[in-house]
Every structure is written in C-alpha cells, then in structure tokens.
C-alpha cells in the first residue's frame, strides 16, 4: 500500500479479476480494444470489481458483458499485486468453465478473442500483469 501525495490515507490497489477458462484443451484470451490502455495487447478476460461487488460476481458479470458467455467460477488459480506507473492493481485470476447453456464467445467489448493452447501463449503480447499467469500455466504443462 502506498500513501498518495494528496492525503495521509493509504491508496488502495484497484481490485481486478481475470478468468482462466479452458475448453477442449485450449485457454481463452482476449485482445484489448483500440483506444484502451494497452490497446492490441492480449489478456485473460475480466475486469474491475465494482464497489460492494464480490470478485467472483465481477468475473461472471464482466465475461457476460465482454464476450456474451456464461461461466461457472471454480476456484482461485493465482493472485498477485502489480505496480503500474499509474497505480497498484490487485489481480485475482479464477479458474472457470463455460456453463452448458453458454454459447461461443463473441468480441463485444474486446477487439478479438482466441482459444489458444497453453504452449502457444508466449507468442502473444500480453499486458504486463497477466505475464505471471502465463508463466504459471506454462509451468503446469511442463510438469505434465
């Protein structure tokens, strides 16, 4: 936690969720829209937790808004804190799966999406905070 220059109160990190969603051996990634911070970079889909919202509920809401999909959140896959030049972010990445009623994703609030084998993730230019998730996934497949 850091102290902002304008006050004596700690500046809380921005709480963000991401979904690590598997389907038939592939993981879902999305591309940031033009005009967004990090436009064109890839990420695991999710978004900012709203006030009084639970992180799991945030992920479900964001995936519905961004991709039109419905997911079941399984468990926390990884949590990290990342310091960007403009502020600190606390990221909770959840393992999730499409519900039986869900449809194929569509790029509603993102530039593009892809189902990618884990081994191919390093070929994509990810936002900095998500690189740690990529690394964890790569370690998992190296073990198997």
- 6 domain residue, yes or no: no
98 CB-near residues (< 8 Å, 6+ apart): 21, 23, 69, 70, 71, 72
pLDDT digits (tens, 9 = 90+) for 43-58: 999 999 999 999 999 9
Q: What is the pTM of this model?
A: 0.88
- 109 domain residue, yes or no: yes
The pLDDT value recorded for residue 36 is: 85
What percent of the chain is predicted at pLDDT more than 70? Answer: 92
**CATH at residue 96:** 3.90.79.10
Give the structural domain span for 23: 14-143
pLDDT digits (tens, 9 = 90+) for 10-21: 578 999 999 999
- 94 domain residue, yes or no: yes
Q: How far apart are CA 105 and CA 116, in angstroms?
A: 14
- 96 domain residue, yes or no: yes
């Amino acid at each position: 936690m850091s102290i902002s220059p304008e006050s004596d109160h700690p500046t809380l990190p921005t709480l963000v969720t991401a979904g690590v969603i598997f389907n038939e051996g592939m993981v879902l990634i999305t591309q940031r829209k033009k005009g967004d911070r990090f436009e064109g970079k890839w990420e695991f889909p999710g978004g900012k937790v709203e006030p009084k919202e639970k992180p799991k509920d945030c992920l479900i809401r964001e995936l519905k808004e961004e991709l039109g999909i419905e997911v079941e959140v399984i468990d926390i896959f990884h949590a990290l804190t990342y310091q960007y030049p403009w502020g600190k972010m606390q990221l909770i990445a959840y393992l999730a799966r499409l519900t039986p009623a869900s449809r194929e994703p569509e790029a509603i609030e993102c530039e593009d999406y892809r189902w990618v084998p884990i081994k191919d993730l390093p070929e994509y230019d990810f936002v900095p905070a998500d690189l740690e998730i990529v690394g964890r996934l790569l370690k998992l497949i190296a073990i198997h």
